[in-house]
Structure 1
Amino acid sequence: MSRAKCTLPLTLLTTGVLALAGCGASNDADSVPAAPQDVAPAGRAQLADGGTLRWAVDAMPETLNAFQADADATTTRITGAVLPSLFTLDANGRPQANPDYLESAKTVAREPKQVVLYRLNQKAVWSDGREIGAPDFVAQWHALSGKDSSYWTARNAGYDRIEKIERGADNLEVKVTFNKPYADWRSLFSPLYPKEVMGSPAAFNDAARTALKSTAGPFRIKEVDRSAGTTTLVRNPRWWGTPAKLDALVLTAVPREKRTAALAAGSLDLADVDTAAADRITRAVEDKNAGVTGGPAAAITPASALRSWALAHGSEGEEKADAARTSRKRTQAAIKVYDTEQTNLRGYAVRKSLEPAYTQLALNGSAGPLSDERVRRAVARALNRKELAADVLKPLGLPAEAPGSHLALAGQEAYADNSDALGDQDTHEAQALLADAGWKEGGAVATAKPEGAKAGSSPQKESKQDGSKDDGKDDGTHTDGQGRGVAGAYAPTGTRAPAGGVPSTVLTRNGKPLTLRFVLPSGPGSESLRATGDRIAQMLDAVGIRTEVTKVADDSYFKDHIASGDYDLALYSWPATAYPATDARPIYAKPEPAADGSLTVEQNYTRVGTDHIDQLFDQAVGELDEGASRDLVEQADARIWAAAGSIPLYQRPQLVAARQSVANAGAFGFQTPRYQDIGFTKGAAKS
């Protein structure tokens, strides 16, 4: 049994010998994201002053403290609007100093120790009027350094390398001295909390979960109403920067499967949606322009209408007439509801880009066939990643390029395609690897139970552990507690399912068949996982690898299966980060034995890692030459590809329904939202 510790936040020869090729394509300073952001940009002069924007979130925030283990995506959205972020990400996913809080920030000394000097914006103050300064930096350092176990922190990366923090030449300067070099120093103090939050364990652990008395952003928190499922942010009267265009921003908890109805009812202005909802919005406009009727009415043919009319008028007796009249009334009511919703949905647009996150096939290397790196590489070499990406992204009109890196995405400075360290799809190479690992075609089969399967797993081809019927829907979003998404992505309706029939070969070893347990979630919103899983099963079948698909309840998918290691194959996502040397290390760190005999895996849920990868990350995070640090990150990525524990498949699509009058918001891509510039175009403000 392994234990997950939450932290934030080649060519292969058939003999099994690795021949390391180059570390990928060189960085291109002019590289751009695979897809641009789509936010309906507008100048502030084009926006109305005022209005309330209602923005859907998945759930109410578990905590307002971004450094606690149960912080989530809603926490991140709130803190982005109400707290200082010294560095934000631009459209290329690259960190930029935020002029609202910084006049400058730079490393002013490297020897004998690294010193970073922050020059703060002289107007920057907390909402209680106190200036932002060194005491706030010191308090956050003490809370997050890891030295005081009274603080229930989820991560301390970077803060544990600080030796001291001092006031500089004046109150506007903060000097941070490190005891060990830290390449990702820009990741620190974002968000920055006031000393009142970080100054004591009680305030950090408890008080900051539900309220923030002092903030320092364009908005402040007015109310967190858990009964109504809303968090209301209003303009901060002490904000010194460009004023917010909106009067209020209301974050409203709406489950993904209910967002189409909420949009149609006019109760939302902005919402991330799935493919089905995006299709309805697009169809609403297209059907109006084409004069087409959709929904329930589309199923009524002239023949069926005539038959229904005849039945309702007693052509086959009064009993059938009553049933027909009742059915006609229900159909007419459904048509009316659908038509009304479609009319209302015409007021929205679908804004789309690619999320700064990729969906991967995870291979659990802790036990069973996948503990053999040759089998893992065979799985990888069986996959046509280009086809998998095309299945998901092409129907949405989005670029369908398979990611070449685990640690960055196209457009980011750290991006380089290192996938050659493993190689593209090659059926013959995959089969040769399996043969080298001892898996041979034919032979007696002693048991149908897959090698390495956990006790209690079903021997059926498809099974569910939640006791519910297979409704053809999966969930799509899971997080690791820091608002960092770790689930699958969306797939277009109609993605083809695997071909039926008997597999052409059966590979066995010691009388056991090569069968892998493929775990997928079963709730609404993740249809792509099942569709992508089906395509993967087809590809693996072609090389003799069988898959046993197990569908599990959403609330147990990640915690009880991925994090606990109860799977062979699974699909989930990791977000890109501007600081891979820091943020990616726990994802790929080599699991270490704990005192009780279990494994401490941090966030490495594949349980695949090497000492060399760890060393490369450690060198990269302590290398202050940015070019040299990126080179080390690229080398680490090449080694991760070679280890074949994680196979990036496609960058996730980002689909956002926005009221057509909403400007400067939608599919943000990499870029940090600039909340003060979000608004309604003139003449269209909402209240």
Structure 2
Amino acid sequence: MLHNPRRPGAATRSAAFLVSGALAVTALAGCGSDDDEAGTPSAGQDIAPAARDRIEDGGSLRWAIDSMPGTLNTFQADADRTTGRIAGAVLPSMFRLDAQGRPQRDADYLEKAEVIETEPKQVVQYKLNQKAVWSDGREIGAPDFAAQWRALSGKDSAFWTAHNAGYDRIEKIERGADDLEVRVTFSKPYADWRALFSPLYPKDVMGTPDSFNDGARRRLKVTAGPFDLDSVDRDAKKVTLERNLRWWGRGAKLDKVVLTAVPRAKRATALAAGRLDLAGLDLGGAERLAHAARDQGASGPLTHGPGSALTPAKALRSWAIAHGEDEEAADEEIAAREKTRKAVKKYAKEQANLHGFEVRKSLEPAFTQLALNGAEGPLADERVRRAVARALDRRHLAEVALKPLGLPVTTVDNHLALAGQSAYSDNSNALGDQDTAEAQALLAEAGWVPGGPVEEKKEKPKTAGGQADGDAQGDGEDGKPGDHAPLLGPGPVAAAQHTALLHQADAVQLRAADKEKKKHPGGHHKKSGHGEHTAESLGKSTARYGSQGGAPGAYAPMGTAAPGGAAAGALAKDGKPLTLRFVLPSGPGSEQLRSVADEITRMLRKIGVRTDVMKVDDESYFKDHIASGEYDLALYTWPASAYPATDGRPIYAKPVPAADGSLTVEQNYTRVGTDHIDQLFDQAIGELDADEERSLMKQADAQIWAAAGSIPLYQRPELVAARPDLANAGAFGFQEPEYEDIGYLKKSRK
């Protein structure tokens, strides 16, 4: 399950992206860079690069997509990653990203673009490539720029556009010496002007509300890229792109690119069946390919997959049932064994076929964050938010997510850019590093004290499509530790260790209870800070704790030494315990998020903060929880924007009360913002000096850290299965695909 944002350059991200993230970055604003501070990307591309002369002419690429596009117009609200992928292959973009996530002029469309005037108004002049033509033979020029501006300016509500950032600052567009020269005059300075006209649609699409709203949803009659849009087959769930014969640039190596919608959970099977050549994977799919590579040439049964959990004891029991006197049970057992045998045979065949693929991996230009909802409850207090943030060992959380995959373990230390981008700098010191003592001091200052009386807790309600897990401590859905450990590595806490700690706690508590019983033969015993304890009540308590995943030793009498690593006492205020709702997605592909959540929960217990973990359906995760504010803590992923001033503002803008008393949050789903942050964004968006713009963004990021509404953790892994002979494709990292260079290596001649 991957979720992705909208188009290149969209200020509005789709709800789907927020669970676990995908690529949707745009060209970086500003010409300058601060290489010393920005550094290099945390992980490079893994695309099997090859020169064009080593690549065959012809062939088809079957490339997996998450879903069929809801629209082919990237400026509409339901545009998704597939919409952006198609646009990248068939439409012009004035600027495209390089491997460092920085903009490069696309010479196939643009000879030159520069700011030629700043006073009295900003004027940008574009000089288009004279060879650049639409697929109907008409040259790309000023009429197309003007039509796109009018459609996206926000002045005509008949155009159903999702955003107009930047276009609303344009005052006029004029033709220069000819249609290939375009002069754009802004009413207000706009630092992110490079974000505009990427992609560029023909005036046939942008010219009227009807063609914009409906005409481009299902078809693009006119295109201008290395590929044309040949067909959109919604029944077969395929989009076919064909080599553009009118293309004036480097000719596409492939004849066709077939984008096929396949759920991520089913991609390993599709690869094994020969239905795909290139596919992004979830952790389970990547693990299968890793197993296939390790098992190549090995003999004997597989140690993974169906039947791999069968122990000698289980096998003996199965044999006994199958040969027992209970004929009904025997028949059921024989049928189950036959079903398992077929599944093992099918799985082994699929694994053999997966030998023909390799996993290419990098880090997506997107980061996973812990969101803290500051609208109400304990987290409305900045001190509590800062305490939660200071409790986190972000380096360890990055290790949980990235180390099992063999990817560089680095934290993300900026909300507005990633390492390698010129806007990047580490501003996390505005919040501070992990510090348990400081976190506890902040909670005490906010009035949360240990051992305070609390009201009796009512049974936790279950949300629609979700389940309440209780006070989760790395538990799986059945209450067992480690169920959601990373699929390519061991879980953070072993079940045996957890059980041993519980037994240790039981022994300490029972010894204390026996001493009290001897002192009070009548059955009365001394009260402790945790309430009255008897051997019977302790047994029930530890049994309950074992089922819910509680902290070892939590029921020990006051003064009893806790086992190593035990948590701090629970905190309370005004009769209420400090318990936070931690909402997580439950679907396949979210295992990594749940493993990280287990570790966060453990870290918070050390400062006395408890969590109620709720695992909800993927479809309701964003709409019913994140967007509606029905959560305290949540994990989701934002794309790194190459336009931090434009794209960052709606994400971190201070919520504004509406007339009905609700909050208008734009995309700030943490509901945490300040006037100062808004002012810094407003200044940066109109700052034409690149160095000054970066300085303002650095100040804004420091203020966002200090507000502690969003805590960046790590870049999301990018795992892609590819045929070994497929070149210039795979884990792209920051760089947008160069579609014309993708192809299959020529076979070597002996």
SS of equivalent to 1:461: strand
User: Do the aligned residues in 2 keep the contact of 1:490 with 1:526 (CA within 8 Å)?
Assistant: no
Q: Does 1:184 align with 2:211?
A: no
User: Do the aligned residues in 2 keep the contact of 1:355 with 1:669 (CA within 8 Å)?
Assistant: yes
Deviation of 1:298 after TM superposition, in Å, equals 4.2
Letter in 1 for 2:222: S
User: Do the aligned residues in 2 keep the contact of 1:64 with 1:71 (CA within 8 Å)?
Assistant: yes
Counting only pairs closer than 5 Å after superposition, residues 241-640 of structure 1 correspond to structure 2 as: 241-291=249-299, 293-294=301-302, 295=304, 296=306, 298-299=308-309, 325-448=334-457, 461=470, 492=488, 494-496=490-492, 500-501=551-552, 502=554, 504-640=568-704
User: Do the aligned residues in 2 keep the contact of 1:473 with 1:525 (CA within 8 Å)?
Assistant: no
Q: Which moved more, 1:419-428 or 1:497-506?
A: 497-506
Equivalent-residue separation in structure 2 for 1:141 and 1:449 (angstroms): 56
Match of 2:62 among 54, 61, 71: 54
4+ residue segments displaced more than 2 Å: 6-9, 289-293, 295-312, 314-332, 446-451, 453-460, 468-475, 489-504
Letter in 2 for 1:400: V
User: Do the aligned residues in 1 keep the contact of 2:465 with 2:620 (CA within 8 Å)?
Assistant: no
The Cα offsets for residues 43-80 of structure 1, whole Å up to 9 and x where unpaired, read as 11111111111111111001101001110011010111
Q: Which runs of 5+ in 1 are unaligned?
A: 1-5, 10-24, 476-488
Could you tell me which residue of structure 1 aligns to residue 705 of structure 2?
641
Could you tell me which residue of structure 1 aligns to residue 123 of structure 2?
115
Deviation of 1:330 after TM superposition, in Å, equals 2.7
Equivalent-residue separation in structure 1 for 2:34 and 2:470 (angstroms): 44
Q: Does 1:41 align with 2:49?
A: yes
SS of equivalent to 2:416: coil
SS of equivalent to 2:595: helix
Change (3 A) 1:336 1:78: same
User: Do the aligned residues in 2 keep the contact of 1:448 with 1:512 (CA within 8 Å)?
Assistant: no
Equivalent-residue separation in structure 1 for 2:254 and 2:381 (angstroms): 56
User: Do the aligned residues in 2 keep the contact of 1:450 with 1:514 (CA within 8 Å)?
Assistant: no
The Cα offsets for residues 563-617 of structure 1, whole Å up to 9 and x where unpaired, read as 1111111000101011111111100011111222221111000000011111111
SS of equivalent to 1:227: coil
The Cα offsets for residues 320-356 of structure 1, whole Å up to 9 and x where unpaired, read as 7655654443333222211110111001000000000
Letter in 1 for 2:144: D
Equivalent-residue separation in structure 2 for 1:44 and 1:571 (angstroms): 41
Equivalent-residue separation in structure 2 for 1:50 and 1:335 (angstroms): 38
Could you tell me which residue of structure 1 aligns to residue 727 of structure 2?
663
Change (3 A) 1:594 1:320: closer
Change (3 A) 1:455 1:636: same
Change (3 A) 1:27 1:367: farther
Match of 1:204 among 209, 212, 218: 212
Normalising by structure 2, what TM-score? 0.81
Change (3 A) 1:117 1:161: same
Change (3 A) 1:564 1:645: same
User: Do the aligned residues in 2 keep the contact of 1:197 with 1:208 (CA within 8 Å)?
Assistant: yes
Change (3 A) 1:381 1:26: farther
Counting only pairs closer than 5 Å after superposition, residues 668-683 of structure 1 correspond to structure 2 as: 668-683=732-747
User: Do the aligned residues in 1 keep the contact of 2:38 with 2:424 (CA within 8 Å)?
Assistant: no
Report % sequence identity.
Answer: 65
Deviation of 1:277 after TM superposition, in Å, equals 0.9
Q: Does 1:237 align with 2:245?
A: yes
Equivalent-residue separation in structure 2 for 1:492 and 1:471 (angstroms): 19
The Cα offsets for residues 421-464 of structure 1, whole Å up to 9 and x where unpaired, read as 0001000000000111111112211243699x99999886169x
Letter in 2 for 1:44: R
Equivalent-residue separation in structure 2 for 1:306 and 1:592 (angstroms): 67
Q: Does 1:143 align with 2:139?
A: no
Letter in 2 for 1:354: L
When Rg is computed on C-alpha atoms for both structures, the one with the higher figure is 2
Change (3 A) 1:429 1:242: same
User: Do the aligned residues in 2 keep the contact of 1:473 with 1:524 (CA within 8 Å)?
Assistant: no
SS of equivalent to 1:358: strand
Change (3 A) 1:55 1:450: same
Equivalent-residue separation in structure 1 for 2:365 and 2:312 (angstroms): 48
SS of equivalent to 2:296: helix
User: Do the aligned residues in 2 keep the contact of 1:588 with 1:608 (CA within 8 Å)?
Assistant: yes
Letter in 2 for 1:650: Y
Could you tell me which residue of structure 1 aligns to residue 499 of structure 2?
none
SS of equivalent to 2:368: strand
Equivalent-residue separation in structure 2 for 1:652 and 1:133 (angstroms): 39
SS of equivalent to 1:630: helix
Equivalent-residue separation in structure 1 for 2:706 and 2:314 (angstroms): 59
Change (3 A) 1:593 1:391: same
User: Do the aligned residues in 2 keep the contact of 1:490 with 1:525 (CA within 8 Å)?
Assistant: no
User: Do the aligned residues in 1 keep the contact of 2:404 with 2:489 (CA within 8 Å)?
Assistant: no
Equivalent-residue separation in structure 1 for 2:486 and 2:207 (angstroms): 42
Change (3 A) 1:75 1:343: same
SS of equivalent to 1:28: helix
Change (3 A) 1:229 1:473: farther
Equivalent-residue separation in structure 1 for 2:275 and 2:34 (angstroms): 48
Letter in 1 for 2:707: A
Deviation of 1:492 after TM superposition, in Å, equals 4.4
Could you tell me which residue of structure 1 aligns to residue 506 of structure 2?
none
User: Do the aligned residues in 1 keep the contact of 2:413 with 2:425 (CA within 8 Å)?
Assistant: yes
SS of equivalent to 1:64: coil
Q: Which runs of 5+ in 2 are unaligned?
A: 1-9, 14-32, 494-548, 555-566
User: Do the aligned residues in 2 keep the contact of 1:517 with 1:567 (CA within 8 Å)?
Assistant: yes
Letter in 1 for 2:235: S
Q: Which moved more, 1:182-191 or 1:284-293?
A: 284-293
User: Do the aligned residues in 1 keep the contact of 2:265 with 2:589 (CA within 8 Å)?
Assistant: yes
User: Do the aligned residues in 2 keep the contact of 1:474 with 1:523 (CA within 8 Å)?
Assistant: no
Equivalent-residue separation in structure 2 for 1:474 and 1:646 (angstroms): 27
How large is the RMSD of aligned CA atoms in angstroms? Answer: 2.9
Equivalent-residue separation in structure 2 for 1:307 and 1:458 (angstroms): 34
Equivalent-residue separation in structure 2 for 1:104 and 1:621 (angstroms): 23
Letter in 2 for 1:371: A
Change (3 A) 1:491 1:590: farther
Letter in 2 for 1:63: T
Equivalent-residue separation in structure 1 for 2:445 and 2:329 (angstroms): 68
User: Do the aligned residues in 1 keep the contact of 2:482 with 2:491 (CA within 8 Å)?
Assistant: no
SS of equivalent to 2:706: helix
Letter in 1 for 2:55: L
Equivalent-residue separation in structure 1 for 2:550 and 2:247 (angstroms): 60
Equivalent-residue separation in structure 1 for 2:160 and 2:179 (angstroms): 30
User: Do the aligned residues in 2 keep the contact of 1:521 with 1:552 (CA within 8 Å)?
Assistant: yes
Deviation of 1:639 after TM superposition, in Å, equals 0.3
Change (3 A) 1:141 1:490: farther
